[in-house]
């Protein structure tokens, strides 16, 4: 089984999201093209790489397809622990955000350099001063970090996160983070997103 190309995987992530709210029992590549905008040929090539043969003449069985996607995307094993680094307005907005309810991702800790904030804020998981970052991440086996700090703190913290073995960083800052290739970065800052749109990109 050959490795799945990167552009395929990005679409498969979105396909999993799409199926999460799809109510019919089956779905055709043509229908996916109408919803998501990728050509039916691309959809069939993407799905065929999952090596499930869960559909012909009636389209794919949604349940089987979604299971195969979850398996490919590592969403069917145990929970993935995450932490929020930076508890300013953006970090606080994510504190009690329900988006991760019923997903394999769980926020297990929050960090901020202001002890004032870590003591005053209330959340369902413990908040710690940033000095504890390395200890807690290793102890709790945290795999992903959500970076919502001020721009000047972003690169130093990214470096610390990478060196304690974090697999991926969701980067809410507009900075380009410099980390070893073992740590993946997903850039989701408002400014970066707007610049991307302004360049005529996005689907």
Partner DNA sequence: ATTTGTGAACAGTTTCACAGCG
Partner DNA sequence: CGCTGTGAAACTGTTCACAAAT
The residues of the shown chain that bind DNA, judged by CB under 7 A, are 5-8, 28-30, 39-42, 44-45, 47-48, 52-60
Residue 25 Cβ, how far from its own copies at the closest point, in Å? Answer: 19
Joined together, the tokens standing for residue 80 give 């993935």
Task: Please tell me the distance from the alpha carbon of residue 185 to that of residue 117, in angstroms, as a whole number.
Answer: 26
Residue 36 near its own copies by CB under 8 A = yes
Residue 141 near its own copies by CB under 8 A = no
89 binds, among DNA, its own copies, none (CB under 5 to 8 A by kind): its own copies
In the complex with its own copies, the residue whose CB is nearer, 130 or 189, is 189
DSSP track, 28-92: -HHHHHHHH-S-HHHHHHHHHTT-----SSS-EEHHHHHHHHHHHTT-SSSPEEEEEE--SHHHH
Joined together, the tokens standing for residue 25 give 């029992």
Residue 65 C-beta-side C-alpha neighbours within 13 Å: 29
In the complex with its own copies, the residue whose CB is nearer, 17 or 53, is 17
12 binds, among DNA, its own copies, none (CB under 5 to 8 A by kind): its own copies
- 162 burial class (0-12, 13-18, 19+ CB within 10 angstroms)? buried
Joined together, the tokens standing for residue 201 give 């990109």
In the complex with its own copies, the residue whose CB is nearer, 41 or 190, is 190
Q: Summarize as ranges the residues that interact with its own copies (CB under 8 A).
A: 6, 9-10, 12-18, 20-21, 34-37, 72-75, 80, 82, 89-90, 92-94, 96-97, 99-100, 103, 105, 144, 146, 151, 167-170, 174-176, 178, 181, 184-203
């Amino acid at each position: 089984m050959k490795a799945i190309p990167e552009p395929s995987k990005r679409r498969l992530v979105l396909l999993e999201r799409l199926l999460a709210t799809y109510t019919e029992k089956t779905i055709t590549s043509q229908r996916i093209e109408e919803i998501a905008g990728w050509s039916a040929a691309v959809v069939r090539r993407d799905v065929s790489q999952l090596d499930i043969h869960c559909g012909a003449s009636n389209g794919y069985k949604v349940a089987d397809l979604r299971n195969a996607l979850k398996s490919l995307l590592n969403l069917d094993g145990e929970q993935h622990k995450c932490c929020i680094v930076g508890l300013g307005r953006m970090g606080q907005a994510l504190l009690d955000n329900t988006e991760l309810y019923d997903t394999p991702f769980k926020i297990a800790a929050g960090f901020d350099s202001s002890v004032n904030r870590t003591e005053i804020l209330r959340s369902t998981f413990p908040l710690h001063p940033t000095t504890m970052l390395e200890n807690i991440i290793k102890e709790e086996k945290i795999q992903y970090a959500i970076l919502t700090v001020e721009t000047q703190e972003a690169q130093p913290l990214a470096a610390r996160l990478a060196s304690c073995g974090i697999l991926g960083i969701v980067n809410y800052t507009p900075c380009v983070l410099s980390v070893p290739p073992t740590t993946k970065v997903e850039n989701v800052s408002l400014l970066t997103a707007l610049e991307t749109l302004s360049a005529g990109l996005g689907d």
